[in-house]
Amino acid sequence: MNITVYNTLTRAKESFVPLDPQRVTMYVCGPTVYNYAHIGNARPPVIFDLWRRVLQTRYDQVVYVSNITDVDDKINAAAAAQGVPISDITRRFTDIYIEDMAALGVQPPDVRPRATEHIPEIISMIKALIDSGHAYEAEQHVLFDVSAYPDYGQLSRRDRREMIAGARVEVAPYKRQPEDFVLWKPSSGDLPGWDSPWGYGRPGWHIECSAMAAKHLGEVIDIHGGGSDLVFPHHENELAQSCCVHQQDRFARYWLHNGFVQMESRKMSKSLGNVLTVHELLQQHPGEVLRYVLLSAHYHQPLDWSEAAVTQAHKTLDRLYAIARDHLQPVAAAASVPDAVLSALYDDLNTPKALAAFNQLCRDLAAAKDTAEKQGLSADIRAAGALLGLLQEAPEAWFGRQKQALDADAIDALIAARDAARQQRDFARADAIRAELDAMNVIIEDSADGTKWRVRQGTAES
RNA sequence: GGCUAGGUGGCAGAGUGGUUAUGCAGCGGCCUGCAAAGCCGUGUACCUCGGUUCGACUCCGGGCCUAGCCUCCA
């Protein structure tokens, strides 16, 4: 089975073939740590984490690098605004980011490089760009000379003249052309800085990713991922720098970009102020619910975030966990992921299709008659769940969490009273108690092995 | 203005040149003391106008609408 990917560079779905069949390399742009990550920021980590897991089913070695950008003017501004040292900001939000992503089921990357730990690599890369005639120094800045790279604009399919015509390119007096971008800029006062051949300063926005990708993965990498707003200018500039420094015609062989999470059909972004942070969402919903929502649309497509979407995902997962609770068998050996799920994911990570197949497997399990069939489906479901990062909790823990907010002893007492009434065939009283529980958003289910209860989704909050 | 994606049933969201997506909600049935859960069944779905075709929601062209990038942004 082939893995296909939609490559932004070629605007086509291509068969994925790694440069080195033994070692797949992927780099995903990580966060600039100055604030809480919102749910839109979480989409790339979740999507590319899944990409990595899918690639691992096929390739023995997948090296996944995702950085932390811990030097940036927004960080400086946040530190100044809060009156704390810059390192307080970066350390704090790096920790929060890592915790929040873990709660969404994102596995840590193999390498999580920090920009500030790669200043020597950045400086030597800039030096090489100057030496090769692709960059120039001007007023303590170093700028990339876009005119020295004829292929500039290939990723975003942008014509340089049109960009200038757009008239929104920052024009600084020290630039030779308006589209030239900063590799190094001067620092003073409290701003973070390092000594360099061009004076005390700090790196520009794009260079750190080029330097870290080269150091940890090599000059040409297989996959480079990120949100679609990074196509231009960030990835275009990374591509230009990296190709010029390494004298390669490719930097990443496959460029993958995810669409945005939207709020009421508008992009969720800090500047628009319509954000929902992962941190606050995790107070209200299990991480798997948020993960399910993020996987419910294809990663290229925009994903409209809403309470209704979260509720639906929660209900769906409740049903799957109930099936797991009642039917899922222990499995001795790890099975392979069933074809219906894997082939969907191999097809440019078609997560909605994979989830449909996963749901089908669970329904089949619930309907399965004999033990052999149940065991086979259980093995399939466990393997698929492990790949998708779903159904990873014990059902008791899953339902237990929802019950925490309620007084379990009181509910158990009511259920016992109802069972007693039913024994005496006093159904009026039994139904009255059930109505009382229902008013508490508690739904009960009578079964052969006693009465179970759970919390109704989607009505309690908001 | 330039460049990109999209417009599918009540909602979310895949997909396909002629045959069931899936989920949530609804409806009918089985089951149940009654429910719930589960199971079975169920819905004149593919923005619009042309074209290609034996046949188009699916391909091509025009139009309308939406979102994104061109400025920090996942």
What are the tens digits of pLDDT across the range A262-274?
A: 998 899 988 888 9
Which bases along strand B come within 7 Å of a protein CB atom? 1-6, 11-15, 21-25, 32-40, 66-74
**What is the predicted pLDDT for the residue at A120?**
97
ipTM of the complex: 0.94
A159 touches strand B (CB under 7 A): yes
pLDDT bin (cut points 50, 70, 90) of residue A461 is: very low
Q: Which residues have C-beta within 8 Å of that of residue A13, sequence separation ≥ 6?
A: A4, A5, A6, A7, A348
Architecture of the A263-397 domain: Orthogonal Bundle (1.10)
Q: pLDDT of A354-371, one tens digit each? A: 999 999 999 989 888 788
CA distances from A112 to A5, A63, A70, A117, A144 (A): 24, 11, 12, 11, 26
Of A186-190, A196-200, A234-238, the one with minimum mean pLDDT is: A186-190
Of all residues in chain A, what percent carry a pLDDT higher than 90?
77
- DSSP assignment, residue A233? I
Architecture of the A4-258 domain: 3-Layer(aba) Sandwich (3.40)
pLDDT bin (cut points 50, 70, 90) of residue A163 is: low
Task: Output the distance from A13 CA to B51 C1' rounded to whole Å.
Answer: 27
Given a contact cutoff of 8 angstroms between Cβ atoms, the answer to whether A203 and A241 are in contact is no
Q: Residue ranges of the domains in chain A?
A: 4-258, 263-397, 406-455
- Residue A462: pLDDT above 70? no
- Residues paired with A194 in a beta bridge: A201
pTM for this structure?
A: 0.94
Q: Which of residues 169-188 of A touch strand B (CB under 7 A)?
A: 169-170
Smallest CA–C1' distance to B5, residue: A301
Q: Which of residues 187-216 of A touch strand B (CB under 7 A)?
A: 205
Task: Output the distance from A23 CA to B24 C1' rounded to whole Å.
Answer: 41
Hey, do A4-258 and A263-397 end up sharing a CATH topology, with the first three levels equal? no
